Amino acid sequence: MSMSNALKFYIDGAWVAPATDATLEVINPATEAPYAAIALGTEADVNRAVAAARAAFPDWAARPVAERIAAAKRLLAVYMARYEEMAQAISAEMGAPITWAREAQAYAGQGHLEATIAAAERFEWETMRGPTRILREPVGVCALITPWNWPMNQIMCKVAPALIAGCTVVLKPSEIAPMSGVLFAEMIDAAGLPPGVFNMVNGTGPDVGQVMSGHPDVDMVSFTGSTRAGVIVARTAAETVKRVAQELGGKSPNIVLPDADFAKAVREGTIGVMNNTGQSCDAPTRMLVPAARMAEAMAIAAEAAAGVVVGDPAEEATTMGPLVSALQFEKVQRLIAAGLAEGATLACGGLGKPEGRATGYFVKPTVFGNVTNDMTIAREEIFGPVLSIIGYQTVEEAIAIANDTPYGLAAYLQGEDLAQIRAVARRLRAGSVYVNGPDWDLFAPFGGYKQSGNGREYADWAIHDFTEIKGVVGWG
């Protein structure tokens, strides 16, 4: 990746100089030291990018879908050729252990692109319903605002379906982890899309994201991030009645049913919270166990957490890197302190940095037991490697606790009785329910109920969200 491109924006098929010379240092969270800088965009840059996308839209939308799929396949070839660079970029910008960066973070970009291509090839773009022809047409110019915690996952599961649907886009990656986005724009450039179809402007939420959300020439905004920021995006977009798709926060329950393989369920559930240093919106952060087995659950979880290797992200053996930023470190410390103050039992971890990790935003894998669902650590999204274990008396009570949250992104179920699992799954108010640690399904819908957002991502679900529906009555 060219570091000089980080000081430019990708607009109308070229790397261009920003309107102003404001820059932001990119910090490596493992060293706390800056290692790159990006340009910060302003309204002028957004206007230029949106104008390019608007001009490119009619031609791109009119092209046969096979041609747009072919462009996506070219992008996939470029992505695979620069795959290791992508893994290294993500590891440096957000502190992801290199093995995790390769196998999960960079893989997400590949997986979503492959799944979206496959879904597009069998998508019903036009159908007849009686005398009416139903057409699925591109929404138009789409503003895509993505987060730092799964940079390539979120960039690809917006950009790929939007482009294949015939939309043109302006992307704003997170300014905290922006280097993967710069590399992605280089890949788009190498794939040879028509100028203006894809544009990228770096910058902050207020200076770039909000301007995009309110822009009169933007037809849709797709945002992934915090619920707080999502509310601002939606409010800003409302003035121009544009479509808004959002994937926001979560506080996902993980119900260990009475008949589950208890040790396995607790161990895997604990690791599920520690992966990505706990910085996943769908992490299973509230573990619900039969109350009588609380002490046992705490012991198993503490043992699992002790096996997490916190260390240098560049080392293959590391399984947990630092949090992404000083701000994130302070937030996680504040919430661990709240857990202690409110009387939860600390099973392992706690305040401060792990032994021998004075530099870097490293935190201890932390497990709290005897948590009640009214405690701060059970209500707030911590976005760190902190597990709350909550006891329940009956399965009815477990369902009530699981649903007692403003969020509804994911829920997890562990158990042996499939009939019971299916019955419980139907009653959980969440967009995804994961049964007994399944493999990742890139064709399953992804998105939330309640304050976890609206709209769905992944494969054909995402293509649907980037299309308008037109009925031509009397076609036949």
Residue 50: in which H helix or E strand, if any? Answer: helix 43-62
When the candidates are 3.60.130.10, 3.40.630.10, 3.40.309.10, 3.30.565.10, the CATH number that belongs to 253-444 is 3.40.309.10
Kindly report, residue by residue over 17-55, the tens digit of the pLDDT. Answer: 999 999 999 999 999 999 999 999 999 999 999 999 999
> Which residue type does 338 have?
A
d(CA 274, CA 320) in angstroms, rounded, equals 7
Q: How does strand 132-138 pair with strand 126-129?
A: antiparallel
Q: Per-residue pLDDT averaged across 231-249, rounded?
A: 97
- Cβ–Cβ < 8 Å for 336, 386: yes
How close are the terminal C-alpha atoms of the chain, in Å? 53
The CATH number of domain 3-248+451-473 is 3.40.50.300: no
d(CA 367, CA 386) in angstroms, rounded, equals 6
Nearest alpha-carbon partner for 179 in 95, 279, 53: 95
- pLDDT value at 1 more than 80: no
C-alpha gyration radius of the chain: 22
φ/ψ region of 239 (left if φ > 0, alpha if ψ in -120 to 50, else beta) reads alpha
Query: What's the mean per-residue pLDDT of the chain?
Result: 98
pLDDT recorded at residue 204: 98
Please, is 360 exposed, middle or buried when counting C-beta atoms within 10 Å of its C-beta (0-12, 13-18, 19+)?
buried
pLDDT recorded at residue 422: 98
pLDDT recorded at residue 237: 98
pLDDT recorded at residue 151: 98
- Cβ–Cβ < 8 Å for 38, 7: yes
Q: Can you give the residue ranges of every domain in the chain? A: 3-248+451-473, 253-444
Kindly report, residue by residue over 45-90, the tens digit of the pLDDT. Answer: 999 999 999 999 999 999 999 999 999 999 999 999 999 999 999 9
Q: What percent of the chain has pLDDT over 70?
A: 100
Please, is 45 exposed, middle or buried when counting C-beta atoms within 10 Å of its C-beta (0-12, 13-18, 19+)?
buried
Q: What percent of the chain has pLDDT over 90?
A: 99
φ/ψ region of 130 (left if φ > 0, alpha if ψ in -120 to 50, else beta) reads left
Q: Per-residue pLDDT averaged across 166-172, rounded?
A: 99
- Cβ–Cβ < 8 Å for 212, 170: yes
Q: Spell out where 313-438 has E strands.
A: 345-348, 366-371, 386-392, 410-414, 432-435
Q: How does strand 243-247 pair with strand 453-454?
A: antiparallel
d(CA 169, CA 146) in angstroms, rounded, equals 13
- pLDDT value at 420 more than 80: yes
Kindly report, residue by residue over 310-334, the tens digit of the pLDDT. Answer: 999 999 999 999 999 999 999 999 9
pLDDT band of residue 2 (cuts 50, 70, 90) is confident
d(CA 428, CA 430) in angstroms, rounded, equals 6
Catalytic residue among 247, 348, 381, 457: 247
Please, is 37 exposed, middle or buried when counting C-beta atoms within 10 Å of its C-beta (0-12, 13-18, 19+)?
middle
Q: Per-residue pLDDT averaged across 197-212, rounded?
A: 98
pLDDT recorded at residue 388: 99
Q: Is 247 a catalytic residue?
A: yes
Residue 184: in which H helix or E strand, if any? Answer: helix 179-191
Kindly report, residue by residue over 139-156, the tens digit of the pLDDT. Answer: 999 999 999 999 999 999
Q: Per-residue pLDDT averaged across 346-362, rounded?
A: 97
pLDDT band of residue 210 (cuts 50, 70, 90) is very high
Kindly report, residue by residue over 88-130, the tens digit of the pLDDT. Answer: 999 999 999 999 999 999 999 999 999 999 999 999 999 999 9
> Which residue type does 406 have?
P
Q: Is 348 a catalytic residue?
A: no
Catalytic residue among 114, 281, 348, 381: 281
Q: Where are the alpha helices (DSSP H) in 222-292?
A: 227-238, 262-274
Q: Per-residue pLDDT averaged across 426-443, rounded?
A: 98
Kindly report, residue by residue over 257-316, the tens digit of the pLDDT. Answer: 999 999 999 999 999 999 999 999 999 999 999 999 999 999 999 999 999 999 999 999
